[in-house]
Amino acid sequence: MDRLEIKKGIYFVGAVDWDVRSFHGYSTNRGATYNAYLIVDEKIALIDTVKAPFAEELLRRVREIVDPAKVDYLVSNHVEMDHSGAIPQVMEAMPNAVIVTSAPSGLKGLKAHYGDKYQYMGVKAGDSLKLGSRSLNFVATPMLHWPDNMVTYCPEEKLLFSNDAFGQHFSSNLHFDDQVDLAVVLQEAKKYYANILMPYGVQTQKALQIVKGLELDMIAPSHGVIWRSHIQDIMAAYDEFSNGETNEEAVVVYDSMWHSTEKMARAILEGFTRAGVSAKLFDLKVNHISDIMTDVLKAKYIAVGSPTLNNNMMPTVASFLCYMKGLAPKNRKFLAFGSYGWGGQSIPQIRESLQGMGFEEIMEPVKLTYIPTEEQLLYIEEKIAENMG
């Protein structure tokens, strides 16, 4: 197993999960990494662990560098188990290590997961830990995206261990931003933000202001590539992701049984096009909700359509609306639409759901019975264009 020394005496000791394809309903089509880092100084510190099944991979990497029993500190930036799951196995190999985590939330969370048999050290914003020639400064970042979250900064190396911030679910045997396709990584960073951090834009902006005040040569997140050549690119991207502003973009999301709602969706797309609004069409039968949310992140307009099935909207549409509600996009405008045979209950249900998210209605819902005519479809196009003008 190759050693990866990211800076002199600082090593990547994490794991690559090539095969994972889902993370809490978020499709991870490019796999994931669980990044952990070992700092070898007068005192030795491990920054985070990995998901439990990859504990032995982490320990093999550590053993190539030092005897795990010599590790003095295990810094846990985040309690969630893709970061901390290996703690029980790792602590068996590192019995002398003190677990350093945020107080009080990190202490509470780790003890709830793994018990209080370990030696813990709670830290708060502004606390520092001396390792020798290097020190670790702790910065609290609560609700990015759990209450316990913090980041760890090594000022002597100008290195930020950024936890979930600036991460991506992206697997590669190469671990730096300048070794992979930057456009792909930035898109995966956008998807990661949209599906995990979107509800916490205010907290992200606050954290960004802190990060912008640090001298940085490198950002080492908990997932994906390490940033060393494109730090300004990912910082600018995060500023855009989290600033609360939307673009003149639309997403049209639907499911359809016999193509009638699909025809309406295409007419709505053409209406946005007539109005000069960039728009994308998403059939829920073939598009994953997490990919759709990547475009919802900056889109001002959201049109959602469903036929009526058993007095309800299609389950795929209900799932999308539930997922989007949890991610809490703000300052959006919406349209509910759909075809139906006799009841038509799905369209008011969609409308109610989107109103409940605080969205503003573009126009009255569009409801058509059975198969829409060419004249009706043209009318939809014209009404959309008119309401965008």
Q: Which residues of 171-208 are buried (b: 16+ CB within 10 A; e: fewer)?
A: bbeebbbeebeeeebbbbbbbbbbbbbbebbebbebbb
Q: Write the CA distances from 386 to 249, 338, 367, integer angstroms.
A: 16, 20, 18
> Residue 66, exposed/middle/buried by CB under 10 A (0-12, 13-18, 19+)?
middle
Mean pLDDT of the chain: 94
Provide the token pair at 211: 């990060």
Q: Is the pLDDT of residue 325 over 70?
A: yes
pLDDT at site 389: 64
Q: Is the pLDDT of residue 143 over 90?
A: no
pLDDT at site 115: 93
Q: How much is the average pLDDT of 357-365?
A: 93
Task: Indicate the SS3 state at residue 254.
Answer: strand
pLDDT at site 45: 98
pLDDT at site 1: 59
For residue 52, the 8-state DSSP code is G
- Active-site positions? 24, 78, 80, 82, 145, 164, 192, 223
> What are the pLDDT digits (tens) for 246-296?
999 999 999 999 999 999 999 999 999 999 999 999 999 999 999 999 999
